[in-house]
């Protein structure tokens, strides 16, 4: 014989005891429990509701549930409630973010809410479970702030690791990495890579005569001029000391000379320094290679060629551009006369 589905059919006393248990569970639940009717009025409230919202139960019963919603959300809340009434379904905790409730004092606080439609005496009701998540929200906000701070610190560390602290240009490490990638792209596209090595003329005399602060100012001004004059996709870096280097994709030897002359002229045109400055430029161009893979020595060899051309530019009077000639000694390198 199967057990009766309704305890009251066999034991009215047990049913009464069960109802008393449900009432105690409702009354002493650790969350605020509210029962709202189809018109949005509060019909039941437990003890924790008084603690959470600051109202006595008599102040809550019969009131619209929007009484507990900040004014700026009240209209939307009423619309959501009307929609929920036509398509009632359970809503679990954590289904939405940034829900706010309103305390009697006017203080707003973050809450999580569970909704459960139910029927009682043929009437459609909604059980609302409201949980104060102020501490959880504060912990989440603190975690987000810490995460954002870590991101910021990581970005700063990455900037410091890849950029020269004085000029803001790429440092040698970053230049080597990015130019290595440029060589791979050039190899795949069958394009040239041109390297321009620039050295300030008589820079030591600037430090000796005007001091290192002026020397630093000169380096910063030169870096700014190179950054503004170079193409957006060129790689501009401080090579060390008073030397700078630019890697350019897709320039022929002749176009590399033109680009170098443009950079030389931009440096010569810098104003508001204690002494006019000039720069010598050595240029080397790597044509497309027949090898299947990029020669790992290609960048070092290209730098060495540009350095040889720069040496010629220095020895031939400075403030000029020379291109390395692979068919002859550096002394026979091509020259673009200084403007």
pLDDT band per the 50, 70, 90 thresholds, residue 327: low
Q: Higher model confidence: residue 258 or residue 332?
A: 258
Residue 155 belongs to a domain: no
Report long-range pairs for 172-176 (Cβ below 8 Å, ≥24 apart).
172/237, 172/238, 172/239, 172/240, 174/237, 175/235, 175/237, 175/239, 175/245, 175/247, 176/299
Close Cβ partners of 189 (under 8 Å, ≥ 6 residues apart) = 250
Q: Please, is 237 exposed, middle or buried when counting C-beta atoms within 10 Å of its C-beta (0-12, 13-18, 19+)?
A: buried
Name the packing angle between helices 134-162 and 172-189 (round to 10°).
80
pTM above 0.75, yes or no: no
Contact 246, 230 (CB under 8 A): yes
> For residue 161, what pLDDT is reported?
83
pLDDT tens-digit map of 271-311: 999 999 999 999 999 999 888 788 889 999 999 999 999 99
Do 182 and 308 reside in the same domain of the chain? yes
The residue written with tokens 């700063």 in the block is: 156
Given a cut of 90, whether residue 228 has pLDDT beyond it is yes
Q: Higher model confidence: residue 97 or residue 83?
A: 83
Residue 173 belongs to a domain: yes
Do 65 and 118 reside in the same domain of the chain? yes
The region of weakest confidence among 5-19, 35-49, 126-140 is: 5-19
**The domain that contains 130 carries what CATH number?**
3.30.450.20
Do 230 and 289 reside in the same domain of the chain? yes
Residue 312 belongs to a domain: yes
> For residue 330, what pLDDT is reported?
46
Do 65 and 207 reside in the same domain of the chain? no
Do 180 and 119 reside in the same domain of the chain? no
Do 208 and 104 reside in the same domain of the chain? no
Given a cut of 70, whether residue 74 has pLDDT beyond it is yes
Among residues 73, 102, 137, which one ends one of the domains? 137
**The domain that contains 313 carries what CATH number?**
3.30.70.270
Close Cβ partners of 190 (under 8 Å, ≥ 6 residues apart) = 288
pLDDT band per the 50, 70, 90 thresholds, residue 20: confident
Residue 159 belongs to a domain: no
Q: Higher model confidence: residue 154 or residue 196?
A: 196
Given a cut of 50, whether residue 116 has pLDDT beyond it is yes
Do 15 and 120 reside in the same domain of the chain? yes
Residue 148 belongs to a domain: no
Given a cut of 50, whether residue 67 has pLDDT beyond it is yes
Q: How many domains does the chain have?
A: 2
**Region of residue 121 (left: phi > 0; alpha: psi -120 to 50; beta: else):** left
Do 13 and 123 reside in the same domain of the chain? yes
Residue 158 belongs to a domain: no
Q: Which residues have a catalytic role annotated?
A: 242
Do 106 and 246 reside in the same domain of the chain? no
> For residue 12, what pLDDT is reported?
58
Do 313 and 206 reside in the same domain of the chain? yes
Do 178 and 45 reside in the same domain of the chain? no
Residue 268 belongs to a domain: yes
> For residue 159, what pLDDT is reported?
72
> For residue 286, what pLDDT is reported?
94
Do 279 and 182 reside in the same domain of the chain? yes
Domain hosting 298: range is 164-336
Residue 151 belongs to a domain: no
């Amino acid at each position: 014989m199967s057990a009766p589905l309704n305890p009251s059919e066999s034991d009215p006393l047990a049913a009464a005891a069960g109802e008393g248990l449900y009432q105690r569970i409702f009354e002493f639940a650790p969350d605020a429990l509210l029962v709202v009717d189809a018109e949005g009025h509060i019909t039941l409230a437990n003890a924790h509701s008084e603690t959470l919202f600051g109202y006595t139960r008599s102040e809550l019963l019969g009131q619209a549930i929007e009484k507990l919603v900040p004014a700026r959300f009240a209209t939307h809340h009423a619309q959501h409630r009307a929609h929920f009434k036509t398509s009632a379904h359970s809503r679990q905790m954590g289904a939405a973010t940034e829900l706010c409730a309103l305390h009697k004092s006017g203080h707003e606080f973050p809450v999580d809410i569970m909704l459960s439609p139910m029927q009682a005496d043929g009437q459609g009701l909604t059980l609302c479970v409201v949980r104060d998540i102020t501490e959880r929200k504060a912990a989440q906000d603190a975690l987000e702030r810490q995460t954002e701070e870590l991101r910021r610190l990581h970005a700063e560390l990455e900037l410091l690791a890849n950029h020269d602290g004085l000029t803001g240009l790429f440092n040698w490490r970053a230049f080597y990495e990015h130019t290595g990638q440029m060589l791979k792209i050039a190899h795949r596209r069958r394009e040239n890579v041109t390297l321009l090595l620039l050295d300030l003329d008589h820079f030591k005399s600037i430090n000796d005569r005007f001091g290192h602060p002026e020397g630093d100012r000169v380096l910063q001004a030169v870096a700014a001029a190179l950054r503004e004059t170079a193409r957006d996709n060129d790689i501009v870096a401080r090579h060390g000391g008073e030397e700078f280097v630019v890697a350019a994709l897709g320039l022929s030897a002749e176009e590399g000379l033109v680009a170098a002359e443009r950079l030389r002229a931009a440096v010569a045109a810098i104003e508001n320094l204690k002494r006019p400055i000039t720069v010598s430029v050595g240029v080397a161009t790597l044509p497309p290679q027949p090898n299947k893979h990029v020669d790992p020595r290609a960048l070092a060899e290209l730098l060495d060629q540009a350095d040889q051309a720069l040496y010629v530019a220095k020895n031939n009077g400075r403030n000029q551009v020379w291109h390395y000639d692979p068919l002859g000694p550096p002394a026979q390198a091509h020259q673009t006369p200084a403007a």
